[in-house]
Amino acid sequence: MNKTMKAAVLRRIGAGLAIETVPRPDPGPGEVLVRVKACGVCHSDLHAVEGDWTPHPTLPLIPGHEVTGHVEALGEGVADFNKGERIGVPWMFWSCGICEFCLQGMETICPRTEATGYSKPGGYAEFMVAPAAFCGHLPEHVDMHAMAPILCAGVTTYRGIKRTGARPGQWLAVIGIGGLGHIAVQYAKAMGLRVAAVDVLTEKLNHAKRLGAEVLIDAREGDPGAALREKSGGGAHGAIVTAVSPRAFEQSVTMLRPAGTVSYIGLPGRDADQIRLSISSIVNSEITVRGSNVGTRQDLNEAIAFAANGLVKADIKTQPLENINAIFARMKKGEITGRVVLDIS
C-alpha cells in the first residue's frame, strides 16, 4: 500500500482549506523528504488561498513556506544533509542557477524560480519534498516552532533591511508590525539600528515597543510622515514596508530623511497594487524606492544565524493544522499579534 499523510489542501480559489489524507511524496534526485515539525502561517499563504496574486497558485495546493522539520529520507545524490538532521524550507523552493540574475547572486528574481506552498506543495502537511540545495541547516539546539517564521518573515525582512543601506546608529522605520514587522524590529535592533514602528493598530504598536522600538507612529492619526520626521530628528535613513495596505507604501516615502531608501516588501495584491508618489520629493531629496523579494540562500544562512544565536526570536502561538481557516479569518481582521505557527508533529 502507498504511504499517505495528512495535509491542508486548497482545491479551488476562495474555497478555503480542507484537511485531507493524500499520498506522501517521494524525494526525487537532489531532493529531501522532510518530516514537518512546524510551519508558520504567513500572510502570503492567505493571499495564495484567496487568489490575490497573478498568476494564481498551482492547484490543488498545499500552502506553507515557513517550514522546519527533520530529514526523513534522501533522494539520489543528496550529499549535504543526513537522515534525521534538522532542516528548514523557505519560500524560494528552487531557482535555475544559470540565468543572468542567478549568476549575479540575485536568485530571488530568477524568472524560472519555483515557490514553496505556491507553485510547489508546501508545509501544511506531515511531509513535503524540497531540493536540498535550497534548504537551510538548523542547529541542534534551536526551538523548531520559534524558528519556523525565520524561514520567510525572518529572511525577508533581514534582506529588506540590508537593502536600505541603513547603518548602525541610524533610524529604520518598520511600517507594518505583523508577522514580518515584529521580527524586522528585532533584526534592526540586532544590527544596531534605531527603530521607529508604524502601524494602524494600538496592539501592534505596543508589541513593537516591547521589542525595543523607540518611536511609535499610529498611521491613522494626522500626518504620520511629519510625526516620524520630527521624532527621529529629520526622518528615517531606511524604511521597510511590510503592511498590506497601499497607503502605507505612499506614506513610507514621506517618512524618509533626504537620501533615504525604502524597501517595499508587502504585496497587498492585484486589487490594491497601485500607489501615487510625489516625483518632486523623490527627485529633490534623492530618495530610493526599491523592491525586496524574500532572500538568497546566503541571506537565509545569515538570518538563521541571528536566530540561532538568540538575537532574534519570533513571538509565536502554536495551533493545530485543523484550525487553519479560523487562523486566516483572524489574520484578515488583524487580530494576530506576532506569528501563528502550525504544530504539525
Question: Where do contacts with ligand NAD occur on this chain (CB under 6 A)?
Answer: 42-44, 47, 152, 156, 175-181, 198-201, 204, 219, 242-245, 247-248, 265-268, 293-294, 331, 334
**Binding partner selected for residue 334 from Zn ion, ligand NAD, none, CB under the kind-specific 5 to 8 Å limit:** ligand NAD
Q: How far is the CB of 176 from Zn ion (least distance, A)?
A: 13
Q: How far apart are CA 43 and CA 226, in angstroms?
A: 29
Output 193 or 240, the one with its CB closest to ligand NAD: 240
Q: How far is the CB of 87 from ligand NAD (least distance, A)?
A: 20
Which is nearest to 97 in space by CA: 87, 108, 86, 89? 108
**Binding partner selected for residue 102 from ligand NAD, Zn ion, none, CB under the kind-specific 5 to 8 Å limit:** Zn ion
Q: How far is the CB of 50 from ligand NAD (least distance, A)?
A: 11
**Binding partner selected for residue 232 from ligand NAD, Zn ion, none, CB under the kind-specific 5 to 8 Å limit:** none
Q: What does R_g of the chain's alpha carbons equal in angstroms?
A: 20
Q: How far is the CB of 220 from ligand NAD (least distance, A)?
A: 8
Output 236 or 244, the one with its CB closest to Zn ion: 244
What cell does 11 get?
Answer: 482545491
Output 127 or 264, the one with its CB closest to ligand NAD: 264
Residues with Cβ < 8 Å from 316, sequence gap 6 or more?
A: 40, 145, 146, 148, 149, 338, 339, 340, 341
**Binding partner selected for residue 110 from ligand NAD, Zn ion, none, CB under the kind-specific 5 to 8 Å limit:** Zn ion
Q: How far is the CB of 245 from ligand NAD (least distance, A)?
A: 4
Q: How far apart are CA 152 and CA 143, in angstroms?
A: 16
**Binding partner selected for residue 228 from ligand NAD, Zn ion, none, CB under the kind-specific 5 to 8 Å limit:** none
DSSP 164-221: TT--TTSEEEEE--SHHHHHHHHHHHHTT-EEEEEES-HHHHHHHHHTT-SEEEETTS
| In contact, 315 and 193? CB cutoff 8 Å | no
